[in-house]
């Protein structure tokens, strides 16, 4: 399992509790410092936006999870990192979120259908939404669950 921009480790902890080994990536690993040395966690402190090559070339994961993070040059790498039988779970802010506050910069807001375009044709889309949500705060988001068959 790969958790991209893992932050405080909500998804890292969720998948660890279910018996998965997790590769946690973020430019600041302070949020998962308590998991240092945990046998099920491989933590990698890296800035994914500094122009360096993708840190996992040729490596695949049973799941790739991304929440509230968008750096478009990574999208093809993330899709390619989904192993056979694995899944991509991705949710982040979409255009229209400007009405509700941060983020407002178009660089951090998905265009309509952008996650669909990123996943296809390599992955089979199981679920997709481009919706306004109320919780945890009012926002426009896109969500996708896609699998590699």
CATH code assigned at 81: 3.40.50.150
Quote the number of domains for the chain: 1
Instruction: Supply the mean pLDDT for the chain.
Output: 96
Which residues have a Cβ under 8 Å from the Cβ of 28 and sit 6 or more positions away? 45
In the prediction, which pLDDT does 137 show? 93
Domain encompassing residue 26: 2-147
Picking from 90, 100, 99, the residue whose alpha carbon sits closest to that of residue 70 is 90
Q: What is the pTM of this model?
A: 0.94
- pLDDT tens-digit map of 54-101: 999 999 999 999 999 999 999 999 999 999 999 999 999 999 999 999
First to last CA, the chain: 17
């Amino acid at each position: 399992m790969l958790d991209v921009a893992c932050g405080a480790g909500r998804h890292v902890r969720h998948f660890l509790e279910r018996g998965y080994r997790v590769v946690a990536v973020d430019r600041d690993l302070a949020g998962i410092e308590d998991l240092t040395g945990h046998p099920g966690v491989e933590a990698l402190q890296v800035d994914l936006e500094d122009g360096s090559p993708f840190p996992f070339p040729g490596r695949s994961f049973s799941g790739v999870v991304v929440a509230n993070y968008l750096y478009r040059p990574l999208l093809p790498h993330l899709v390619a990192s989904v192993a056979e039988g694995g899944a991509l779970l991705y949710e982040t802010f979409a255009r229209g979120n400007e009405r509700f506050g941060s983020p407002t910069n178009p660089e951090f807001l998905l265009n309509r259908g952008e996650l669909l375009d990123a996943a296809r044709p390599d992955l089979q889309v199981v679920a997709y939404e481009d919706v306004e949500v109320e919780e945890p705060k009012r926002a426009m988001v896109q969500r996708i669950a896609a699998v590699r068959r």
